[in-house]
Amino acid sequence: MYFAALLARTEDGWEASDTDLDDVETLSDLTDLAREASVDEDTVLVFIEQEDAWFGVVRVDGEEDPRIYVSDASAAARSSYGEILLTDELLGREPGAEDSIAALEELVGLDGTEDGEPETPDNSTTDEDDDGPDPDAVPAGPLGDTGVLSDLGLPEAELLMLRTEALAEIADALGAAEVLETVR
């Protein structure tokens, strides 16, 4: 079960709205959605939560690049909404590197066999051939900007300790618990 909401900062406090992420396919789409909810290019927070698995916070301040925090990257990687947040940049990968490598391997046929030769135990690759950890593996645990909410009242250490009911606790720290509850 997913929950997604926008919290837009205004002169009078926070305004909350639930949001439908069905048409959101990229971080850019999500950022545009947040900017549309912004009043005078003020701060907008996008909360995404998969019940008891992970949560993410995206902070958009005017035209600045979005700041992202994900509570459990490996859990988020198994979610279509989580994949939106886990950009190459956040994961420390070269943008598009995964696609380029896959395309080159397909083009060159780098499966370890000659054309038409069946794969046998003698020429197959095994886990024993690995040189170390998979560079494309998504790390378990928190990932991203742990200071994303520090100036709004939630220090990094407290953000890192949140597990269940995290969005309610974040909203409480921001003074937005009541407005967030109206859209839950």
Which tens digit of pLDDT belongs to each residue from 71-98? 999 999 999 899 999 998 999 887 765 5
Instruction: Supply the DSSP symbol for 165.
Output: B
Q: What is the pLDDT of residue 164?
A: 75
The answer to whether residue 104 scores a pLDDT higher than 50 is no
Mean pLDDT (the chain, rounded)? 83
Give the CA dihedral 3, 50, 44, 33, nearest 10 degrees.
-70
Q: Say how many CA atoms lie within 13 Å of 129 toward its Cβ.
A: 7
Of 62-76, 95-109, 144-158, least confident by mean pLDDT is 95-109
Q: Is 17 helix (H, G, I), strand (E, B) or coil?
A: strand
The answer to whether residue 130 scores a pLDDT higher than 70 is no
Q: Span 90-118, mean pLDDT?
A: 58
CA–CA gap between residue 177 and residue 9 (Å, rounded): 13
Q: In terms of pLDDT, which residue wins out, 132 or 104?
A: 132
Is 50 buried (19+), middle (13-18) or exposed (0-12) by CB count in 10 A?
Answer: buried
For the stretch 88-94, contacts whose Cβ atoms lie closer than 8 Å and that sit 24 or more positions apart, written own/partner, are 90/143, 90/144, 91/138, 91/143, 93/135, 93/136
Q: What is the pLDDT of residue 172?
A: 94
Kind of pairing, strands 13-18 and 43-50? unpaired
Q: Of 133, 132, 114, whose CA–CA distance to 124 is shortest?
A: 114
Confidence of residue 40 (pLDDT cuts 50, 70, 90): confident
Q: Say how many CA atoms lie within 13 Å of 35 toward its Cβ.
A: 12
Q: Span 103-124, mean pLDDT?
A: 52
Of 5-9, 94-98, 167-171, least confident by mean pLDDT is 94-98
C-beta atoms surrounding 111 within 10 Å: 13
Question: From the centroid of its chain, how far is CA 79?
Answer: 10
The answer to whether residue 43 scores a pLDDT higher than 80 is yes
The answer to whether residue 126 scores a pLDDT higher than 80 is no
